[in-house]
C-alpha cells in the first residue's frame, strides 16, 4: 500500500521528512514508528499504517512535499514478522533523483525499539556509558527519549572504584596555516535543521509584524517559595513531578488577565480580537534543538494543581514528539520560562498572532529593602525575580502593560497559596 504525507492539522499543507525509521527491505509492523515529519505546527513520529515490508522510499530525508504525496510503499503480502532492522539514514538527493539509503549502522545487542533514538539521545547514551538495551523507552513504539536517558543516569548508582566515563571526543578539524604563518582553524558549517528554519521564519515575521515593546516588574516570590518548600515532598509523591514556580505564574496570569482583556487578544487587520478564554501557550525546549508551545485550554477556569498537571503532561509529550497538531494551535497568550537557567531579564519575541508574551526569569535570594516593625526601612533576604512582558504597541500602551504586570505581581505576592494547594 502507498504511504502518504498525512494531514497534520487543518491549516497544514506540507511537511518535511526529517528521519526514516526503516530502510527498504525492512519488515514493518502496523503502528510502529515509520518516519518523522516536521511541519510549521509540530514535529511528529508517524506510525506505519499497515504491516508488511517496506519496498520503496520515494521521498528522502530533508524532502518537503505536499499533504497527500506518496512517501513510500509497503507490501502487505510480505512477511512482516521478521525482526525490525536498525534505523536508516537516507541521504538527501536533488529533486527527481532516486532516494538511495545510506549504509545502515552496525547492529547492536539492543532491541529494535531501543534503536529508534535521535542523535541527541545517542550522544547522551554514549557520554554516560549506558547500555541502550536496558533503558525502557517511553516514546511512541517504545522509543528511547532524552528524558528516559536522564532518568537512567539518575537511577544509576556511581561506582566508588571506577571513574565516570569520559565524554565522547569531538572531532576538531586540523589547523590551517594563517596569514602570519601561525595555525588557523577552519570554521565548521552545520546546516540548520527544519525546525530552526521554521523558528527563524516565524520570529522574523513577528518582528516585522508587531511593534515590540517591553515592560518589567520585580516580584517578591517569598510566599510562593515557602509554599513550594513546604509542599515539595508531598506534591512529588502525589503528582509524580516537581512543583515549580511556573504554575504559580500561570495561575496569577489567569486571574489578572480578566481585568486586562487586551493582553489576551490578537490583531486581525484593523481589529483587536478579544478572546473569550485564556488558551495559555507554554514554550517548551526540545533538548536545545528548538521550541514548541503547546496550549493549556481554558487556563482562566483552572486552579493551580490542574494547570501544573497539564503543563507537565504537555511538556513531557512535546519532548517525546507525542503532541497532536491541535495541541500546539490556537494559543491566545504565551509564557516562556528561561528562569531555571538563572536568567535575569529576557526580552522574548511575540508568538504571532498574539499581542503579548511573558518571560519568567530566574528567582533567587536577594537583599531587599522592606518596612520594619517600627516603620523604619530594614534589609531583608527574599526570593525575588523579574517578570518581563513583551507586548505589541498596536494593541495597547505602556500604562496598560504596567498595570497588568502589577496585577500579576499582586496575586503572586498576596494570594493564600496554601489554600490553593489543598
**Which candidate in 393, 410, 414, 416 is catalytic?**
393
DSSP designation for 422: -
Active site residue 397: yes
Cα separation of 162 and 123, whole Å? 21
Active site residue 275: no
- Other C-beta atoms closer than 10 Å to the C-beta of 234 total 11
Cα separation of 210 and 226, whole Å? 39
Cα separation of 351 and 267, whole Å? 12
- Other C-beta atoms closer than 10 Å to the C-beta of 37 total 26
**Which candidate in 79, 230, 397, 416 is catalytic?**
397
Q: How far lies 251's CA from each of 283, 298, 415, in Å? A: 16, 12, 11
Residue 120 buriedness (CB in 10 A; 0-12 / 13-18 / 19+): middle
Give, in degrees to the nearest 5, the angle at Cα 234 between 230 and 238.
150
Q: Residue 33: phi, psi to the nearest 5?
A: -55, 130
Pairing of strands 356-360, 333-336: parallel
Cα separation of 240 and 118, whole Å? 26
Cα separation of 293 and 328, whole Å? 6
Cα separation of 412 and 251, whole Å? 9
Cα separation of 311 and 308, whole Å? 5
Q: How far lies 55's CA from each of 23, 72, 417, in Å? A: 9, 8, 59
Q: Following CA atoms 281, 13, 66, 100 in sequence, which dihedral angle do they give, to the nearest 10 degrees?
A: 0
Residue 130 buriedness (CB in 10 A; 0-12 / 13-18 / 19+): middle
Residues 63 and 17: beta-carbon distance below 8 Å: yes
Cα separation of 107 and 325, whole Å? 34
Residues 351 and 373: beta-carbon distance below 8 Å: no
Please list, in sequence order, all residues whose beta carbon lies within 8 angstroms of the beta carbon of residue 299, skipping any fewer than 6 positions away: 250, 253, 254, 278, 279, 280, 307
What are the residue numbers of the active site?
A: 393, 397
Amino acid at each position: 500500500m502507498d504511504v502518504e504525507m498525512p494531514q497534520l492539522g487543518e491549516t497544514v499543507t506540507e511537511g518535511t521528512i526529517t528521519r526514516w525509521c526503516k530502510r527498504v527491505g525492512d519488515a514493518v509492523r502496523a503502528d510502529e514508528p515509520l518516519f518523522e515529519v516536521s511541519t510549521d505546527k509540530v514535529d511528529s513520529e508517524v506510525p506505519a499504517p499497515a504491516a508488511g515490508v517496506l519496498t520503496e522510499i520515494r521521498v528522502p530525508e530533508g524532502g518537503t512535499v505536499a499533504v497527500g504525496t506518496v512517501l513510500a510503499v509497503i507490501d502487505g503480502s510480505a512477511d512482516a514478522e521478521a525482526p525490525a532492522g536498525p534505523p536508516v539514514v537516507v541521504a538527501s538527493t536533488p529533486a527527481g533523483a532516486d532516494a538511495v539509503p545510506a549504509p545502515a549502522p552496525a547492529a547492536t545487542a539492543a532491541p529494535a525499539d531501543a534503536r529508534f533514538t535521535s542523535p541527541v539521545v545517542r550522544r547522551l547514551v554514549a557520554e554516560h556509558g549506558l547500555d541502550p538495551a536496558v533503558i525502557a523507552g517511553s516514546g511512541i513504539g517504545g522509543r528511547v527519549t532524552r528524558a528516559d536517558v536522564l532518568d537512567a543516569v539518575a537511577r544509576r548508582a556511581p561506582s566508588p572504584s571506577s571513574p565516570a566515563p569520559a565524554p565522547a571526543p569531538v572531532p576538531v578539524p586540523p589547523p590551517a596555516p594563517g596569514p602570519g604563518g601561525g595555525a588557523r582553524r577552519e570554521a565548521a558549517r552545520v546546516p540548520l535543521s527544519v525546525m530552526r528554519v521554521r523558528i527563524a521564519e516565524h520570529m522574523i515575521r513577528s518582528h516585522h509584524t508587531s511593534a515590540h515593546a517591553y515592560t518589567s516588574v520585580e516580584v517578591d516570590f517569598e510566599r510562593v517559595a515557602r509554599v513550594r518548600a513546604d509542599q515539595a515532598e508531598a506534591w512529588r509523591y502525589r503528582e509524580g513531578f516537581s512543583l515549580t514556580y511556573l504554575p504559580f505564574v500561570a495561575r496569577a496570569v489567569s486571574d489578572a488577565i480578566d481585568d486586562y482583556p487586551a493582553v489576551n487578544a490578537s490583531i486581525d487587520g484593523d481589529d483587536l480580537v478579544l478572546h473569550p478564554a485564556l488558551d495559555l501557550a507554554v514554550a517548551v525546549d526540545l533538548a536545545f534543538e528548538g521550541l514548541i508551545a503547546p496550549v493549556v485550554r481554558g487556563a482562566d477556569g483552572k486552579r493551580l494543581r490542574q494547570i501544573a498537571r497539564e503543563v507537565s503532561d504537555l511538556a513531557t509529550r512535546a519532548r517525546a514528539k507525542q503532541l497532536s497538531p491541535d495541541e500546539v494551535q490556537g494559543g491566545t497568550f504565551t509564557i516562556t520560562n528561561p528562569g531555571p537557567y538563572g536568567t535575569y531579564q529576557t526580552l522574548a519575541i511575540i508568538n504571532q498572532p498574539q499581542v503579548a508574551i511573558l518571560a519568567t526569569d530566574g528567582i533567587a535570594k536577594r537583599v531587599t529593602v522592606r518596612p520594619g516593625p517600627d516603620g523604619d526601612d530594614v534589609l531583608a533576604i527574599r526570593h525575588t525575580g523579574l517578570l518581563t512582558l513583551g507586548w505589541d504597541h498596536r494593541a495597547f500602551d505602556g500604562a496598560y502593560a504596567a498595570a497588568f504586570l502589577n496585577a500579576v505581581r499582586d496575586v503572586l505576592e498576596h494570594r493564600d497559596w496554601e489554600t490553593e494547594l489543598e
